Amino acid sequence: MNSVRLSIGQLGAVMSVAQRPKGTFLVVGCGYVGCRLAGRWRGAGAQVTGHAVSEASLARIAAAGASASRLDLDAPPPPLDLGGRLVYYAVPPPREGRADTRLERWLGALTADPVRIVYLSTTGVYGDRGGERVDERTPAAPRTERAVRRLAAERALCAWAEARGVSWCVLRVPGIYGPQRLPLDRLARGDPAIRPEEAPPGNRIHVEDLVTACMAAGASLRADRRIFNVADGSEDSATAFLQRVARLAGLPPPPLVSRAEAERTFSAASWSFLGESRRIDNRRMLEELGVALRHHDLDDGIRASLAPPAA
């Protein structure tokens, strides 16, 4: 990558766009996280546009108070003038291949440079670390095809931005939970979980804390050309998390099986998450972005997710 750096004036433009009420923001891939992010910025008085594909997503964007615009990146998009905007990119890569063709199409369609692009990636790019702690200096070593595509997207975005002197920030996100994102159906079905003594550590973030991190990544000067792990610091295994949810939701705890039986009987998709183990260090997010986690306690986050939405 080039060693081009933004000037203080350019970085100041990022901060001022994010702080002033008339700032303009774009959320590409405005789904579960993006709609909440759009709503939070709208609540701060900003002008926000959300891009999505489905009619349901477009309706949710409008309900969040943002402008909704359809964008399908499985085909070449029209020219996009994003000059001076702060952009959040949250479109998942395609399900096949080793590159993110959706991101490549989007970058190729830009006719004017954004002031900063915040890319939502995954902690899966670190691969299996056997339960060891990883931070942003840990070399990426993805094992699954899904994580390989994510790392390819990170590198493509950074190379594109560096060549144009555009500020970028990558947020590596683990499992997301929140309202409508708890494993209640799984518990109701009685799906099994790995025995606690054999279950690997897990990492997660409540959606509202992820939105807070996204806002900080868009506004902070310290986010320029930086990668941040976005996690709550808890390391409960998937089994421990399921047991917490069951207790707080008044549901039966999951039946338990050995790790060997789980590997033999769980779906390939489920095992692709459980077969890897790492502990995510979130100190850079806390110290450099100044993120104050609202739900660092899992029980508190689960209760908030079970509560009926406010009127």
pLDDT at residue 6 greater than cutoff 90: no
Whole-Å CA distances, 130 to 46, 141, 143: 43, 13, 13
Please tell me what DSSP assigns to residue 91: P
State the average pLDDT for the chain: 92
Alpha carbon 64 to its chain centroid, in Å, reads 19
Classify residue 167 by burial, with Cβ atoms within 10 Å: 0-12, 13-18, 19+: buried
- In order of their start, the domains of the chain are 8-179+204-233+278-297 (3.40.50.720)
Name the nearest CA neighbour of 97 among 150, 159, 156: 150
| Across 225-232, average pLDDT | 98
Residue 310 pLDDT grade (very low, low, confident, very high; cuts 50, 70, 90): low
Here the tokens at position 95 are 């399900």
Task: Indicate left, alpha or beta for 40 from its phi (over 0: left) and psi (-120 to 50: alpha).
Answer: alpha
Alpha carbon 268 to its chain centroid, in Å, reads 22
- Whether residue 239 contacts residue 193, with contact meaning beta carbons closer than 8 Å, is answered with yes
The DSSP result for 51-70, as a single string, is EESSHHHHHHHHHTTSEEEE
User: What element of type H or E holds 121?
Assistant: strand 116-122
pLDDT at residue 21 greater than cutoff 60: no
User: What element of type H or E holds 81?
Assistant: strand 80-81
Instruction: Please name the residues in contact with 183: beta carbons below 8 A apart, sequence gap of 6 or more.
Output: 241, 242, 245
Q: Summarize pLDDT for 82-117 with one digit per residue, the tens.
A: 999 999 999 999 999 999 999 999 999 999 999 999
pTM here is: 0.92
As a whole-number percent, the residues of the chain with pLDDT over 90 amount to 87
Give the phi and the psi of residue 132 in degrees, each rounded to 5.
-75, 160
Strands 24-28 and 86-89: parallel
Q: Summarize pLDDT for 265-292 with one digit per residue, the tens.
A: 998 888 888 889 999 999 999 999 999 9
User: What residue has token string 């306690």?
Assistant: 297
| Across 247-251, average pLDDT | 98
Residue 8 pLDDT grade (very low, low, confident, very high; cuts 50, 70, 90): very low
Whole-Å CA distances, 302 to 98, 246, 248: 35, 10, 8
The DSSP result for 268-305, as a single string, is HHHHHHHT---EE--HHHHHHS----S--SHHHHHHHH
Q: Helix, strand, coil shares of the chain as percentages rounded to 5?
A: 40, 20, 40
Classify residue 129 by burial, with Cβ atoms within 10 Å: 0-12, 13-18, 19+: middle
| Across 190-205, average pLDDT | 96
State residue 20's pLDDT score.
44
State residue 208's pLDDT score.
98
Here the tokens at position 259 are 């790790």
pLDDT at residue 51 greater than cutoff 50: yes
Residue 17 pLDDT grade (very low, low, confident, very high; cuts 50, 70, 90): low
Terminal CA-CA length for the chain: 48
State residue 22's pLDDT score.
41
State residue 52's pLDDT score.
97
